[in-house]
Structure 1
Amino acid sequence: METEVLIVGAGPAGAAASALLSTYGIANVVINKYPSVSNTPRAHITNQRGVEVFRDLGLEGEVVKNATPQHLMGEHVYGTSLAGRELGRLRTWYTHPHFKAEHDLASPSAVCDLPQHILEPILLNAAAARGSSVRFNTELLTFTQDDDGVTAVVKDRLTGGRHEIRAKYLIGADGGNSTVVEQLGLPLVGKMGLGGSINVVFEADLSRFAEHRPGDMYWFIQPGVGHDGNGIGVLRMVRPWTRWIGVWGYDVAAGEPSLTEADGVRIAHQLIGDDTVPVKVESISTWAVNDVYATDNMKGRVFCVGDAVHRHSPMNGLGSNTSMQDSYNLCWKLMMVLRGQAAPSLLDSYREERLPVAKQIVQRAKKSDGLMPHLFMALQLPPASDAQALRDALDALDAPTPEATERRRAFDAALHATIMCFNTHGVETNQHYTSGAIVSDGTPDQAAPRDEEIYYFATSRPGRHLPHVWVTRDQHRVSTFDLCGRGRFTLLTGINGAAWRDAAELVSKRFGVPLRVHSIGRGCDYEDSYGDYQTMSEVGEDGVLLIRPDHMVAWRAASATEDPEATLAEVMAEILGR
């Protein structure tokens, strides 16, 4: 079998890569050693940048139809159990009015809760419908590469037969125990298996406990395995309010536990706090908390994406989103190289651009994990506290004494600090690049006015993500995002930018690369009805923004140059390695 790109793994990263490549018209085969997509909800938070990938693929409607929307995600309750005592609440996932405004200004798409077992079929169905060959029960054994391509030996796990797949490029999207990473010998930093967790997927009608305080997760302080022997149990909503995941810890030093359905019911009832609630266990599985990132993500014609090169805890919901964005960064570059529109050197920018992102999100998740022990410290709980010690600590929290006042202040401060386990809008939206596929406009770096881990920083500076604003056409609102993407470069210019349109036509013919052009302003292709584009673009009416297929600003000019064609040709040549 021969193809242009072989994708190993059909999780969010691999499924996204397959959908993108097939949409771009690039032949690809995706193999998955398992018999189906994920059979459990697993990853679930799909942030704005994640939804934007679906939007660019024309699949956002499927996401909205199948996901739990933002307004049902944000009441994050701390307590002793779902039916037990509440200890405090946070407004998470940007549902607080202050954060909601910033969330809505950053993107036309909204964060949502889309469980992985629903996310993957949306992408894979689109990939298959657009020409990808999707093969389950097919396991990668080995691969070799040469100057012209990659030869993979795969095993049919149903028949035991082996055969070869010859591809021009290979994408390793095979998760946290990646065969591709191991065989490539990519260097990894960090540790695996720092903690163990149990997932119990179950059905139970918990409406009376949850619908008046709708959230996607409820966290409970209980005695058990965790921070110094004190546990945080989690009830995670899969479908409001009848399908759930109960999360509880286990001691990795004691080995992976052998769990029965009765254990699943017990864990569910422990977290619910009411053992009269009927519970139907669907599945029980274990997973490990990791803290690992790769210091290289490619070698020759093989590229690694997703959990293969960044492995971390679920904190902040960055995993599947970053995995899909890895593929979003890589696939348009593969498309242009395979079509002869760009030199292979363009692919080196994948390393330059995504390695810092992988490191950042792993470190952010670790920081967020580190916020949890402060809750127990504020309660002054001794290690491995039992139920009585926890009750005593909570009773002491209520006492009308100066000592209890200080304890309450410490506990409330620790609780509210955990908002950084959820609301890291800047980490999600401010990912920016310095590479050979970005051309500087010569302006000095601009410092963000606020903490870039927390707050979105909108700028059109090269290497940053195109800011979203609403423009209008025929009286209908259109996001600047929807003017770009879909595998093509785009020029955005103003009312006096006709020279850029002429230049784009000539440069497009010269390089054989489609360059769409949109003018924005009075009487232009799109009206700047709110006046937001003029501010956001940071260029004059005769200036231009060059936007890559992945919505990143590749280059900008504040005003028209003496020879726009020569200027644009020079920029495109630098980006494409031509």
Structure 2
Amino acid sequence: MPDHELETTVLIVGAGPAGLTMALTLAQYGVSHHLVERYAGTAHMPRAHIVNQRTTEIMRHLGIEDDLMRAAVPNELMANNLYVTTLNRPEVARREVYGRGADRRPHYSQASPCEVVNCPQTVFEPLLVNALRRTGSDVHFQQEWLDVRNDGDGYISTVCDLRTGTTHTVRSRFIVGADGGRSRVLEAAGLHLNGQTALFHAASIWFTADLSSYLAHRPGVLVFNVHPGPLPPQRLGTLVCHHPFDEYVLIRYYDPAREDLTAMTPDDARAHIEAFVGEPLDRVEVKGISGWTVDRQSAVRYSNSGIFCVGDAVHRHPPSSGLGLNMSIADSFNLAWKIALVDQNVAGPGLLESYDTERRPIDEAGVARAVNSLIESMELTDALGLADDQTEEEGWAALAELDEASPAGDARRRALTEALDVSDLQFNAIGLELGYAYEAGAVIQDEAPDRRPARQQVLEYLPTTRPGNRVPHARLERDDLPLSSIDLVDGLQFALLVGRGGGVWREAAERVSGDLGVEIAVHTIGPGTAIRDPYREWDDRCEVSHSGAVLVRPDRHVAWRARQAGPDPTASLLDAIRTILDR
């Protein structure tokens, strides 16, 4: 029998990026929580590493953007994707990515005050743990969640201390399963996944070596191999830079019917690394070898009663497009404020249902995009004239056409350019990463969804205050200091953004806040106000009149807007807040 019981509002199972973000956000909201993790520490392999602008913004809202920027590889060192036969030969192609291209850079800088950065889980997770500890909270490592029962008053979980073998119980009102790809919480909640598993098999080789002579003059995160010959998908592998220019992961795909790369020795791993480089290296340290499979799975539902699942527990997909860590953190940031307001009796239970309604369609689209990106990346070899059934000599001949002054050379170069254009859907996907919108849930829609072609929605971010979208970034000033419109929300408050003619909204917000107990901060933006709009960016992007209002949720997504003040702003705002909070 368990030997003692702990009580908390939220039990979080799993201390990966999703679980740590959940704990850190709840800590800032003042919600009691208990975070357990069965492993002895944070990530033992770098794994996920791309931190997109939306995730950097979330870290900004949690007060740790500066910590992230100090720890991460900066955006300028992520500039290039390379396509090589081996590192010591002239590259086959180079493409600017992550908003570094001259044509893409303005889109990224205008869309957000934050950067895309490269921060592997081995760095990112300790950063979150340290931030959590500064709040007075902590991670309880080597604590394995075993099972749960509902006694009518809440959930009672059994947890085993793996150091001593003893068990104890944790009573909680809610449970958040952030326990990854083999989620016990998902199963215990009666939830399940649809989709395919083991589409491909891969092994990751984590190593250190000085590759600066090959890469310092053309820095980037990813180097794709296009070596000729009958080779597995991605040829000799994909090289991922985790720290310039001495720490990397080499990903090798393989056919398990022919070999098992997860059983490779350090000497085998070194041979794979040197094959990719094209020549022997002086010093190589193999730090880890890990096998994994490419899955395409999404949960049918993300929650059941008071049990919620986030991150890899509910969506599993290839690492292409770099969406996994970012989707997982967005799951937790979406859910945390809803749990907090329901726990404080400010919101009704329907607000919790909106977690599934909002996040599941976004994550399903991300899974589909990641799978398509993987397929598209493999099709680049077709553009180069490489095929599995050709000899190595035939492959070299096809690549040689890229340098020919001939019709065949023209055709080969056009095909390569077209394939690289398609790769922008994976590596310059600002619309997908920053422009996703919640079409239903804790939002009140007032116009049709974005009907632009799918490619355009992936590649182009459209700043808008249409409900469900993240509030657009505009450069503002307060007390002569720069400020972004995304910073006008604090903690669990809602923000009502109004213009010079929106004074009626201040009285409306005070009355609604008093009636419903929800904090609504009113910010007047424009000439002659405390918050200046020096470049008229908010005026251009707010999409409401001088008397209108934009209501922003704690997660910085627009919940509702009024194009202009009607005859009874208080009644309009009261109805909106009641609907959003299920009151």
Tell me the TM-score normalized by structure 2. Answer: 0.95
Query: Given the alignment, which residue of 248, 251, 267 partners 2:252?
Result: 248
| Partner residue in 1 for 2:557 | 552
1:262 and 1:381 map into 2 onto residues whose CA distance is: 29
1:387 and 1:402 map into 2 onto residues whose CA distance is: 23
| Partner residue in 1 for 2:122 | 117
Contact map agreement 1:448 1:457 (CA 8 A) in 2: no
Counterpart residue identity of residue 265, structure 1: R
| Partner residue in 1 for 2:193 | 188
**1:470 offset after TM fit, Å?**
0.5
What pairs with 1:377-456 in structure 2 (closer than 5 Å)? 377-383=382-388, 385=390, 387-440=392-445, 442-445=446-449, 447-448=451-452, 451-456=456-461
| Partner residue in 2 for 1:237 | 241
Contact map agreement 2:479 2:530 (CA 8 A) in 1: no
SS in 2 for 1:453: helix
**1:389 offset after TM fit, Å?**
4.2
Gaps of 5+ in 1: none
Q: Work out whether 1:138 is the aligned partner of 2:134.
A: no
What pairs with 1:67-216 in structure 2 (closer than 5 Å)? 67-216=72-221
**1:125 offset after TM fit, Å?**
2.0
**1:85 offset after TM fit, Å?**
2.8
Change (3 A) 1:146 1:572: farther
SS in 2 for 1:125: helix
**1:199 offset after TM fit, Å?**
1.3
Gaps of 5+ in 2: 1-5
Counterpart residue identity of residue 268, structure 2: D
1:103 and 1:548 map into 2 onto residues whose CA distance is: 23
| Partner residue in 2 for 1:58 | 63
CA deviation vs aligned residue, 1:157-214 (integer Å, no higher than 9, x gap): 1111122111100001111111112222323221111112221111111111111101
Contact map agreement 1:170 1:302 (CA 8 A) in 2: yes
SS in 1 for 2:197: strand
Change (3 A) 1:146 1:252: farther
Q: Work out whether 1:277 is the aligned partner of 2:282.
A: yes
CA deviation vs aligned residue, 1:343-392 (integer Å, no higher than 9, x gap): 11110000110110111000001111111332232344342555444334
CA deviation vs aligned residue, 1:224-254 (integer Å, no higher than 9, x gap): 6533xx6251221111111111121222345
What pairs with 1:156-555 in structure 2 (closer than 5 Å)? 156-222=161-227, 223=229, 226-227=232-233, 231=235, 233-254=237-258, 255=260, 257-383=262-388, 385=390, 387-440=392-445, 442-445=446-449, 447-448=451-452, 451-555=456-560
Counterpart residue identity of residue 462, structure 1: P
Say what the alpha-carbon RMSD is for the aligned residues.
1.8
Change (3 A) 1:379 1:102: closer
1:400 and 1:108 map into 2 onto residues whose CA distance is: 45
2:299 and 2:464 map into 1 onto residues whose CA distance is: 29
1:225 and 1:3 map into 2 onto residues whose CA distance is: 53
**1:404 offset after TM fit, Å?**
4.2
| Partner residue in 1 for 2:9 | 4
SS in 1 for 2:456: coil
Query: Given the alignment, which residue of 6, 18, 25 partners 1:20?
Result: 25
SS in 1 for 2:156: strand
CA deviation vs aligned residue, 1:299-321 (integer Å, no higher than 9, x gap): 11100101111111111111101
Counterpart residue identity of residue 61, structure 1: D
SS in 2 for 1:349: helix
Identical residues among aligned pairs (%) = 37
Change (3 A) 1:124 1:247: same
1:338 and 1:168 map into 2 onto residues whose CA distance is: 9
Counterpart residue identity of residue 245, structure 1: V
Change (3 A) 1:486 1:386: farther
Counterpart residue identity of residue 60, structure 1: E
Higher mean displacement: 484-493 or 207-216:
484-493
**1:261 offset after TM fit, Å?**
1.0
SS in 1 for 2:262: coil
Higher mean displacement: 389-398 or 519-528:
389-398
1:418 and 1:12 map into 2 onto residues whose CA distance is: 27
Change (3 A) 1:500 1:387: same
SS in 2 for 1:350: helix
Change (3 A) 1:386 1:37: farther
| Partner residue in 2 for 1:36 | 41
Tell me the TM-score normalized by structure 1. Answer: 0.96
**1:435 offset after TM fit, Å?**
2.7
Contact map agreement 1:225 1:250 (CA 8 A) in 2: no
Change (3 A) 1:187 1:537: same
2:439 and 2:198 map into 1 onto residues whose CA distance is: 33
Contact map agreement 2:358 2:441 (CA 8 A) in 1: no
1:270 and 1:9 map into 2 onto residues whose CA distance is: 37
**1:119 offset after TM fit, Å?**
1.0
SS in 1 for 2:125: helix
Contact map agreement 2:157 2:170 (CA 8 A) in 1: yes
2:542 and 2:197 map into 1 onto residues whose CA distance is: 43
CA deviation vs aligned residue, 1:415-464 (integer Å, no higher than 9, x gap): 44223221111111121113341123x44556448811111011101111
2:390 and 2:94 map into 1 onto residues whose CA distance is: 23
SS in 1 for 2:263: coil
Change (3 A) 1:147 1:538: farther
The number of residue pairs the alignment matches comes to 575
CA deviation vs aligned residue, 1:508-561 (integer Å, no higher than 9, x gap): 121111111111011212011111111111111211111000011101111112
Query: Given the alignment, which residue of 546, 564, 567 partners 1:562?
Result: 567
